[in-house]
A and B are shown apart, each in its own frame.
Chain A
Amino acid sequence: MIELHRVSKVYSVGPVKVPALSDVSFRIAKGEFVVLTGASGAGKTTLLRLLYRDDLPSEGDIEVLGHDLVPLRRTRVAALRRSIGVVFQDAKLLPVRTVYENVAFVLRVLGTPQREITPRVFDALRVVGLSARAQAYPAQLSQGEAQRASLARAIVRRPPLLLVDEPTGNLDDAMEAEIIDVLKDIGGGGTTVVLATHQARLAAALRRRTITLEGGRVVKDEG
């Protein structure tokens, strides 16, 4: 499903080289739920961006869902991303569209037949417990609801791989618990989930395989 072999990423800021990841190698099997943890700046977000081919590694090889990402041509990147759902900390909802429209937007972009869109959107909203808020605009949602809407958008295509970046970063304990329950349900359904969080407490609560990054290196891989 996912395999990284001696992956490094260095950002250049003028003449200064800033290492973000160093010699990272691991494998994630199909259907696994993996937590990437580490302090802010440890390299978690960089690693996720490499997995959905938003960036390229400076060194090493990455294979995701059978695609070798380094030589992957631009036209094939779109095909790869159709199999990956991504959730960001800031939800990235479109403010002038309702929750329903935000989720449906993804299906429309990909040319899903109109008759399939409504049932699939409501399926996704039901999974995240947001069916009753389908006609609400993002500004009318709590942060937890916005994050669940973002999750619904990520899973509406039923992707085999879900990447989640700091989903509970801005949430209170109750909202955090809601999101964690939803993610567990999604993972339980056979979707491979890679969740990045700086909250060690959350990683511990999930009781799943946890890869700990420190200064861009894997320092622990357990569970």
Chain B
Amino acid sequence: MLGFLIGEALRDLRRAGRVAVSAIVLITLSLAALGGFWLVSSNLERAVAKWRERVRIIVYLKREPPAGEAAALVERVQGVPGVAGVLYLSKADALASLKTVLGKDASVVAQLPSNPLPASLEITPAAAAATPEGARALVERLASLPEAEEVAGSADWVERLSQWQRLLTTIGLGIGAVLAIAAFLTVATATTLILHARRRETEIMRLVGATEMTIRLPLLLQGMLQGLLGAVLALAALVATHRVVAPRLAPLVNLTLGLPEIAFLPPLSLAVLLLAGTLLGGLGGWLARAGREA
């Protein structure tokens, strides 16, 4: 029976001819657009996650604590909500760091009458505090420490990157949805043509006592085949584009976002795209039938 149903679905697909081809092309375009934006968005998401890990808040201290009190201060700050890690930098550590930054010009430091740099605490925020609101709240908490002279740092720019990523996802979903609606309507039109072409078969099937499911399944299957074929073509287009474009853009992406390469979509996303195409086609095939019966 399964062989019969698949055979009928393939026969139906051939009957739909150019309209079926149009439906497959539209499904390919919609899923390629969706997958393309998804790919860019997922890489931006990786960059955001990476940069969130690098957010630091610096607490400049009013005075350098005596050697015995620094560890106690670090321990106390470690207990502040939203703090994941604390690194104490003495005045000497800060000066050494400055020398490293200055490199061959480090000798200017020797001309200073005294070390002007304050001791500080380098705070690594917990994940929840790495958002703009979380970081602002943490800065306020740290500023209330009696030892704190000034607190610097925020996560605003990371959030701006995150907003770009969300915007791209929304645009991708929008374009994908518009193309998906067009694809769905084309599959439905192709199925309506098939219904017209196979009306005699349907009449015979009903006459000999075929169940409604036997009559409907080939329509559903041909729609699903259109969708699956469109999805496979979309994935092939995405793979080919990624192979050509990703190596060329890698240096730029590394420089701007700090990502070593543009990663392709993970297997789960590919499975979702294949499933989405198959469901889209199947829905078109099924609803064309429902429309005729209404």
Contact = CB atoms under 8 A, between A and B. Distances in A.
Interface of A: 52, 74-75, 77-84, 86, 92, 94, 105-106, 108-111, 114, 153, 157
B169 interface: no
A110 B210 contact: yes
Contacts of B204: 92, 94, 105-106, 109, 153
B208 A157 contact: yes
Interface SS, B side: helix
Contacts of B116: none
Interface of B: 1, 3-4, 200-201, 203-212, 214
Contacts of A82: 208-209
Given A80-B209, A81-B209, A109 B200 contact: no
Nearest to A85: B208
A20 B61 CA distance: 104
7 contacts: A79-B209, A80-B209, A81-B207, A94-B201, A105-B204, A106-B204, A109-B205
B200 A78 contact: no
Most A CB within 10 A of own CB, among B3, B201, B210: B210
A114 B1 CA distance: 9
Given A78-B209, A80-B209, A109 B214 contact: yes
Contact of B4 (A80, A86, A108): A108
Given A74-B212, A82-B208, A92-B200, 4 more contacts: A78-B206, A82-B209, A108-B1, A153-B204
Nearest to A114: B3
Most A CB within 10 A of own CB, among B1, B204, B208: B208
B207 A110 contact: no
A200 to B, nearest CB: 28
Contacts of B201: 94, 105
A91 to B, nearest CB: 11
Contacts of B205: 109
A109 B208 contact: yes
A52 B208 CA distance: 10
